[in-house]
């Protein structure tokens, strides 16, 4: 199934660093996504865009993750040649990720 069916997301930018939140619709899916949605997998999925490291921060109190993606904005919002210099549309790219369905 697509990640989009389990979670929603918003992208933010600071300098040349991007963050993408992944927020479970149902808190019961948090542990499942914690297992399958590794930073390595996120980096592989967004490999055309992210040149740096991907770090995952965990927020169990709101059943969410915050992925921080280094060197992901073509040198930074203010100087990028990209059509979407802020990388704002990348949350939708992550929602297209195929993930294993949770047990329940």
Partner 1 sequence: MTATQPQRRVRIGAGAGYSGDRTEPAVELAQHGALDYLVFECLAERTIAIAQQARSKDPELGYDPLLETRMKAVLPAALRNGVRVISNMGAANPLAAARKTAEIARSLGLGDVKIAAVTGDDVLDVVRQGDFCFVESGERVADYKDRLVSANAYLGASAIVDALAAGAQIVLTGRVADPSLFVAPLIHEFGWRMDDWQTLGQATVIGHLLECAGQITGGYFADPGFKDVPELARLGFPIAEVGQDGAVVITKLAQAGGRVTEATCKEQLLYEIHDPQRYLQPDVVADFSQVRVAQEAPDRVRVSGGRGTPRTDTLKVSVAYFDGYIGEGQISYGGPGALARARLALDIVRERLVLTGVETRELRFDLIGVNALHGETAAVGYAEPYEVRARVAGRTTSLAQAVQIGNEVETLYTNGPAGGGGATKSAREVVAVQSVLLPREHVTPAFSMVEA
| 82-87 own/partner pairs: CB under 8 Å, 24+ apart | 86/11, 86/13, 87/11, 87/13, 87/18, 87/49
Interaction between residue 17 and partner 1 (CB under 8 A)? yes
Q: CB-wise, 8 or 41, nearer to partner 1?
A: 8
Beta bridge partners of 18: 13, 69
How far apart are alpha carbons 38 and 67 in whole angstroms?
A: 10
Q: How far is the CB of 84 from partner 1 (least distance, A)?
A: 5
16 part of the interface to partner 1, by CB under 8 A: yes
**Contact call for residue 96 and partner 1 (CB under 8 A):** yes
Q: Using the rule CB under 8 A, is 10 a contact of partner 1?
A: yes
Taking CB under 8 A as the criterion, the residue among 31, 38, 41, 79 binding partner 1 is: 79
For CA atoms 53, 57, 95, 30, give the dihedral sign: positive
Q: Does 40 bind partner 1 (CB under 8 A)?
A: no
């Amino acid at each position: 199934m697509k990640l989009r069916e389990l979670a929603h997301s918003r992208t933010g930018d600071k300098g040349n660093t991007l963050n993408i939140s992944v927020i479970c619709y149902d808190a019961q899916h948090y542990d499942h996504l914690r297992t399958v949605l590794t930073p390595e997998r996120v980096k592989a999925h967004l490999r055309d865009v992210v040149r740096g490291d991907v770090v995952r921060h965990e927020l169990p109190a709101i059943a969410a993750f915050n992925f921080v993606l280094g060197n992901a904005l073509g040198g930074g919002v203010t100087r990028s040649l990209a059509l979407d210099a802020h990388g704002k549309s990348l949350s939708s790219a992550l929602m297209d990720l195929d993930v294993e369905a949770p047990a329940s």
